[in-house]
Amino acid sequence: MSDDAYTPPKVWQWEEPSGGQFASINRPVSGATHEADLPVGEHPFQLYSMGTPNGVKVTVMFEELLAAGYDAEYDAWLIRITKGDQFGSGFVDVNPNSKIPAMVDRSGDAPVRVFESGSILLHLAEKFGAFLPASGAARTEVMNWLFWQMGSAPYLGGGFGHFYHYAPEKWQYPIDRFTMEVKRQMDVLDKQLAEHEFVAGDDYSIADMAIWPWYGNLVLGRQYGDAATFLEADSYTHLKAWAERLDAREPVKRGRMVNRTMGEPHEQLHERHAASDFETKTQDKIGEN
Confidence grade of residue 25 (pLDDT, cut at 50, 70, 90) = confident
> In whole angstroms, what is the distance from residue 212 CA to residue 249 CA?
12
Q: Is the pLDDT of residue 219 over 80?
A: yes
> Closest Cα to residue 200, out of 257, 158, 242?
242
- 133 prior amide bond cis, ω within 30: no
pLDDT given at position 108: 95
pLDDT given at position 19: 59
pLDDT given at position 1: 46
> In whole angstroms, what is the distance from residue 59 CA to residue 284 CA?
20
End-to-end CA distance of the chain: 46
State whether CATH 1.20.1050.10 applies to domain 136-255. yes
Summarize pLDDT for 179-195 with one digit per residue, the tens.
999 999 999 999 999 99
What is the overall mean pLDDT for the chain? 95
Go through 126-146 and write b for each residue having 16 or more CB atoms within 10 A of its CB, e for each that does not: ebeebbbbeeeebeebbbebb
On whether the CB atoms of residues 242 and 259 are closer than 8 A, the answer is no
> In whole angstroms, what is the distance from residue 102 CA to residue 9 CA?
36
Summarize pLDDT for 154-171 with one digit per residue, the tens.
999 999 999 999 999 999
> In whole angstroms, what is the distance from residue 162 CA to residue 136 CA?
38
> In whole angstroms, what is the distance from residue 210 CA to residue 146 CA?
6
Helix (H), strand (E), coil (C) string for 58-84: HHHHHHHHHHCCCCCCEEEEECCHHHC
pLDDT given at position 5: 81
Mean pLDDT along residues 39-57: 98
> In whole angstroms, what is the distance from residue 211 CA to residue 200 CA?
11
Burial class (CB within 10 angstroms; exposed 0-12, middle 13-18, buried 19+) of 188 = middle
> Closest Cα to residue 81, out of 32, 28, 26, 33?
26
Regarding beta strands 74-78 and 102-105, do their DSSP bridges make them parallel or antiparallel, or are they unpaired?
unpaired
Confidence grade of residue 27 (pLDDT, cut at 50, 70, 90) = confident
Q: Is the pLDDT of residue 149 over 50?
A: yes
> Closest Cα to residue 80, out of 288, 224, 225?
288
Residue count (the chain): 289
Q: Is the pLDDT of residue 207 over 50?
A: yes
Summarize pLDDT for 2-13 with one digit per residue, the tens.
557 889 999 999
pLDDT given at position 18: 59
pLDDT given at position 21: 62
> Closest Cα to residue 119, out of 89, 152, 149, 93?
149
On whether the CB atoms of residues 262 and 245 are closer than 8 A, the answer is no
Summarize pLDDT for 93-122 with one digit per residue, the tens.
999 999 999 999 999 999 999 999 999 999
pLDDT given at position 186: 98
pLDDT given at position 287: 75
Confidence grade of residue 234 (pLDDT, cut at 50, 70, 90) = very high
Summarize pLDDT for 69-96 with one digit per residue, the tens.
999 999 999 999 999 999 999 999 999 9
- 101 prior amide bond cis, ω within 30: yes
